[in-house]
């Protein structure tokens, strides 16, 4: 989707069970019926592009009725990552988001993978952070 003069991409792991609380800006019209697209439009309608990390955390932190909201919101220069699994999920490890760091790099992944010089930590629920992409 295009907003604020940039192309935006979004993906998330999990399911948003209650779509009735999700709404979109008038100029954003979902083309399909997936919960991910509806969630993306809900985020874009409320996002403060000058403070993506804080506003994404507030937007997704206020939602209820989901299995997981691990999300990646991206533009050409950076990715804003949010981690949150629903309480009482049947497979909590499946919904764990991982943050890997090493010299000169940072990775967000649904699974830690063996990579020399990278230390992995599970991302606590409710955490929002950014990865900057060098051009």
Q: What is the pLDDT of residues 92-115, one digit of tens each?
A: 788 899 999 999 889 999 999 999
The pTM of the full predicted model, rounded to 2 decimals, is: 0.89
The rounded Cα 42 to chain-centroid distance in angstroms is 12
CA–CA distance, 59 with 8 (Å, rounded to integer)? 17
Q: pLDDT confidence of 124, banded at 50, 70, 90?
A: very high
CA–CA distance, 39 with 69 (Å, rounded to integer)? 10
- CA distances (Å), 32 to each of 12, 70, 80, in order? 16, 21, 24
Query: What angle (nearest 5°) sits at the alpha carbon of residue 71, between those of residues 61 and 17?
Result: 65
The H or E element that residue 111 is part of is none
Mean pLDDT of the chain: 89
């Amino acid at each position: 989707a295009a907003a604020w003069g940039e192309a935006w991409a979004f993906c998330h792991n999990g399911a948003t069970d209650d779509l009735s609380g999700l709404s979109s800006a008038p100029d954003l019209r979902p083309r399909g019926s997936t919960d991910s697209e509806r969630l993306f439009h809900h985020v874009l309608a409320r996002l403060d592009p000058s403070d993506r990390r804080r506003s994404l955390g507030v937007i997704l932190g206020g939602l209820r009725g989901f299995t997981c909201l691990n999300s990646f919101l991206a533009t050409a220069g950076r990715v804003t990552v949010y981690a949150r699994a629903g309480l009482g999920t049947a497979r909590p490890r499946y919904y764990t988001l991982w943050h890997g760091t090493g010299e000169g790099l940072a990775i967000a992944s649904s699974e830690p993978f063996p990579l020399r010089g990278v230390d992995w930590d599970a991302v606590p629920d409710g955490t929002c952070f950014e990865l900057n992409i060098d051009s």
